Structure 1
Amino acid sequence: MKKTTFKFLTVLLLVIMAVFAAHLFILQNMELPIFADRILLSYIVNYTLAAAILIFIQSKFNKKSSQTGFIFLAGSGLKFLVFFLVFYPFYREDGTMSTSEFAAFFVPYATCLILEVAFLSKQLNNQDS
C-alpha cells in the first residue's frame, strides 16, 4: 500500500469518527435515540467500502489510469447496492423513511464520497501524462 493511501485512510478514519461524534451529539440534543437506525453499521460500512474502493483504485491506478473514473463509479454503484440490500429494507419496515434514517446512511456516505473525490482528483492531477 502506498504511503499516500495509508495517510488518506487514516485521515478518512479520523474525519468519519469526528462526523460520527457530531452526528451522535446532534441526535442527543434533538432527544432522538442515538444508536437507532443502524447508524453505527452505516458508518462502518461506508468507511470500509470507501477504503476498499480506494485501495482497489490505487492498485489499478498506474496500469489503467484512463479507467479510474469508471472504477470509481462502479464503486459508488456498489455502495448504493449495499444500501438497497442492507439498509433500505430496514428503513422501510414502517412504510416511510424518516429524516433520521436517511441521515444515518447519507451523512457517512456523503462524507466518504467528498473525501474520496478530493483525494482521487488530487492523485489524477498530480499524475504525469
Structure 2
Amino acid sequence: MKNISFLGRCLILLSLVLSISFGIHALLRTSNGVSPFGDLLIWSYLTNLALAFGIVVFIHSLRHKMKTQLGFLFIAGSFLKFLLFFIFFYPSFTEDERISQSEFSSFFVPYFLALLIETYFTAVLLKNLEKENPL
C-alpha cells in the first residue's frame, strides 16, 4: 500500500470503513424493524465520504501555500459539513417535530467515522510537512 498515493490511501480507507459501517448500519436498522435505507442513510454516507475526502484533498492541495492555516481550514471543513447537515438533512429529520435515534445515527455515525479518518490523514499530512521543513 506504500506505492499508493496519500490521497489514494485516504480514499480507500474512507471507502472501506464507511462501506463496512453502512452494511452494519443497514443490518442493525433491519433487525430493529426500521427500513434499512430510510432516513437518508445512503445519502448521508455518500455525502460524508465526499465531503471528508474533499476536505483532505483541499488541505493537501494547499499544504505548502497555507501551511500555518491548515488547522483553520480543517475546522472550516467541519463547519461546512455541519452547515450542510442543517440545510439538507435536518429539515427532513424534523418533519415529525422530533429526531429519532435512527435519524440521529443516520447522519452522525458516518460523520464521526469520516471525521476520524479525515483527522488522521490531516495529522499525517502535518507530520509529513514538519519532516520536510522542520523549524
TM-score w.r.t. length of structure 2: 0.91
Conservation of the 8 A alpha-carbon contact between 2:60 and 2:125? no
Pick one of 49, 52, 55 that aligns with 1:50: 52
Aligned to 1:126, the other structure's residue is in SS state helix
**Structure 1 unaligned runs (5+)?**
none
How many residues end up aligned between the 2 structures? Answer: 128
Alignment of 1:11-90 (within 5 A): 11-90=13-92
What is the match of residue 97 of structure 1? 99
CA shift, 1:70, in A, is 0.4
Q: Which residues of structure 2 form unaligned runs of 5+?
A: none
Does 85-94 or 114-123 show the bigger shift?
A: 114-123
Letter in 1 for 2:8: F
8 A contact 2:59–2:74 mirrored in 1:
yes
> What is the TM-score when the length of structure 1 is the normalising length?
0.95
Q: Does structure 1 residue 121 correspond to structure 2 residue 123? A: yes
What SS is found at the alignment partner of 1:95? coil
Please give the alpha-carbon distance, in whole angstroms, between the structure 1 residues aligned to 2:124 and 2:52.
16
String of CA shifts for 1:20-69, please: whole Å, max 9, x gaps.
00101111111211111001010011111111111110000122111111
Quote how far apart the aligned CAs of 1:120 are: 1.1
